């Protein structure tokens, strides 16, 4: 938490991580729920990227990073 105190540490960019190809292939419903939860995020900014998977005919818009601009956004996000 100490790294959150200095103004030089903002904005804070957190990697979300991409789903594995097997998850997209075998658990697409869970992947869709994951994507929807990130679409519903109202704190900070979610950075998205089109990612191709072997099991899909088209690229999927995947959240890759969550950017929190200020300590107050971090407090709001963590409840």
pLDDT digit string (tens) for 4-46?
777 888 999 999 999 999 999 999 999 999 999 999 999 999 9
| pTM attached to this predicted model | 0.85
Q: Identify the three-state secondary structure at position 62.
A: strand
Is the separation of the CB atoms in 64 and 15 below 8 Å?
A: yes
Give pLDDT, residue 3: 67
Determine, yes or no, domain membership for 26: yes
Determine, yes or no, domain membership for 49: yes
Give the total number of structural domains in the chain: 1
Show the domain range for 58: 10-78
DSSP H/E element including 47? strand 45-51
pLDDT digits (tens, 9 = 90+) for 8-18: 889 999 999 99
6 contact partners, CB below 8 Å, separation of at least 6: none
Determine, yes or no, domain membership for 5: no
24 contact partners, CB below 8 Å, separation of at least 6: 31, 53, 55, 56, 60
Mean pLDDT to the nearest integer, 44-71: 96
């Amino acid at each position: 938490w100490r790294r959150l105190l200095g103004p030089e540490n903002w904005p804070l960019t957190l990697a979300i991580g991409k789903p594995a190809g097997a998850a997209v292939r075998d658990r697409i419903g869970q992947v869709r729920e994951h994507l929807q939860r990130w679409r519903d995020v109202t704190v900070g900014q979610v950075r998205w990227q089109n990612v191709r998977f072997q099991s899909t005919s088209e690229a999927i818009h995947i959240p890759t990073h969550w950017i929190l601009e200020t300590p107050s956004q971090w407090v709001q996000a963590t409840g």
